[in-house]
Structure 1
Amino acid sequence: MIAPSSKPLASTAGSVPDHPQRPAKPAGEVYRRFDPQLGAWVSLRTLDICGDLERFSRWQNTPRVMAFWEEGGSLEQHRQYLEKLAADPHTLTLIGCFDDQPFAYFEAYWAKEDRIAPFYDVGDYDRGIHMLVGEQAHRGPHKVASWMQALTHYLFEDEPRTQRVVAEPRADNDKMISYMQSQGYHCVKEFDFPHKRAALMMQSREDFFEGRLLD
């Protein structure tokens, strides 16, 4: 589970000469494939604030999630959180589903407009991810392998110029780091955000697609 690194920078997409113009955010389902290992469909859709708010709030208020995200609160607080992200061109909020049943919340962000950017040689189209599995029944390494592969695959397919996907789990989050390494991410280094010691995890497009048979 990886929580947001910090509040995003003020929106710079399209307004600063060295930042690409970001496309309009999609709506609805953005990814679907059948996972033969699980015998289930894994899919990603954009978060709908009206339809997903209560679920999101329930997930954020579970002790396990609160320990990492520190975003427990009321429905109104969570509505404001999601509305802020909806208005932010650098972040896309997603719901992960197995057989169309929601189980996880993801944030995909353009790394160059995020506070992670100063900590490595960020590329124009690098994407970053924050990850939260909300439903207890869908935890475990076999499920992580399915959704993490799907999420990474989507981000590389969404923008052909994206060469790297990054994440910044807490440096002492050994379980998540191990899960990510098992799915082809490697730890570049540790670094300090104001609120945590983080591990910079990274996977390249070349490494992701090498030897994989994906539709």
Structure 2
Amino acid sequence: MSQQPSHLQDIGAPPIPPRVGEWRITVIEPGTDGVALVCDWMNRPHVAEPWDQAWPYERWAEEIARQAAGAHSRPCLASLDGEPVAYLELYRVLRDRLAPLYPYRPQDLGVHIAIGARENLGRGLGRALLRSVAVGLLETEPECTRVVAEPNVRNDASLRAFAAAGFVRAGEVTMPHKTAALMVYPRAQEDVPQW
């Protein structure tokens, strides 16, 4: 990753809105049961295909520890009524490979989401969680004007969930492993990037 100008290096890790609507968001700490849960979810077919991270426990333990030690992203569990439902990665776009692909702003935040259990798909939980997280991030960090995501353009279910949550499709970006739709939850309409 390229070196950031010093004024951008001062921007800390992404904020974690602890409670957003009915959802509770908690950071996964290295060495906790959350690591095993994420590893299990990531090896389930409905998650393994779009994420392509069906890794063994040891690699997930390293990944969670790497994220926890840096300022790029935070691995989180989203729980509803005390039950973990989804894995989230909340990230700073300026430290992400997405940054050079669109006209990002230094305070842009991003989100990756995986619904863990297949039986929780198709129930509107992803849509509700995405909207709550986007609103929570904008409330937690007033300088942020948009929350972004980059689902694969071939993942129709994900695209529908983001759209139903209020994200706007701003364009497409080509990444090494996929062509992605740049989905944006803006604070105001003028915050949708144009390029």
Which residue of 2 is the match for residue 30 of structure 1? Answer: 18
Instruction: State, as a whole percentage, how many aligned pairs show the same letter.
Output: 26
Which residue of 2 is the match for residue 46 of structure 1? Answer: 27
Given that 2:29 and 2:68 are in contact with CA atoms closer than 8 Å, whether structure 1 keeps it comes out as: no
Give 1:206 deviation, angstroms.
2.5
- 1:10-159 map, 5 Å: 12=3, 16-23=5-12, 30-33=18-21, 41-49=22-30, 50-159=32-141
- Name the count of aligned residue pairs: 188
- 1:66-100 CA-to-partner distances (Å, cap 9, x unmatched) read 10111112211110111111112121111100101
Whole-Å separation in 1 of the counterparts to 2:176 and 2:156: 20
Give 1:23 deviation, angstroms.
3.1
Given that 1:168 and 1:201 are in contact with CA atoms closer than 8 Å, whether structure 2 keeps it comes out as: yes
Whole-Å separation in 1 of the counterparts to 2:12 and 2:45: 36
Q: For residue 181 of structure 1, give the secondary structure of its aligned residue in structure 2.
A: helix
Q: For residue 179 of structure 1, give the secondary structure of its aligned residue in structure 2.
A: helix
Whole-Å separation in 2 of the counterparts to 1:25 and 1:147: 17
Given that 2:28 and 2:75 are in contact with CA atoms closer than 8 Å, whether structure 1 keeps it comes out as: yes
Give 1:169 deviation, angstroms.
0.6
Given that 2:93 and 2:108 are in contact with CA atoms closer than 8 Å, whether structure 1 keeps it comes out as: yes
RMSD: 2.0
Give 1:22 deviation, angstroms.
2.6
Give 1:32 deviation, angstroms.
4.1
TM-score, length of structure 2 as denominator length? 0.88
Which residue of 1 is the match for residue 193 of structure 2? Answer: none
Give 1:145 deviation, angstroms.
2.6
Segments ≥4 residues shifted beyond 6 Å: none
Q: Verify: 1:160 aligned to 2:126, yes or no.
A: no
Whole-Å separation in 1 of the counterparts to 2:95 and 2:35: 26
Given that 2:23 and 2:79 are in contact with CA atoms closer than 8 Å, whether structure 1 keeps it comes out as: yes
Q: For residue 148 of structure 1, give the secondary structure of its aligned residue in structure 2.
A: helix
- 1:125-181 CA-to-partner distances (Å, cap 9, x unmatched) read 000111111022322252123211111112111210000111111111112111111
Whole-Å separation in 2 of the counterparts to 1:168 and 1:142: 19
* Runs of 5+ unmatched residues, structure 2: 190-195
* Runs of 5+ unmatched residues, structure 1: 1-8, 34-40, 208-215
Whole-Å separation in 2 of the counterparts to 1:26 and 1:168: 19
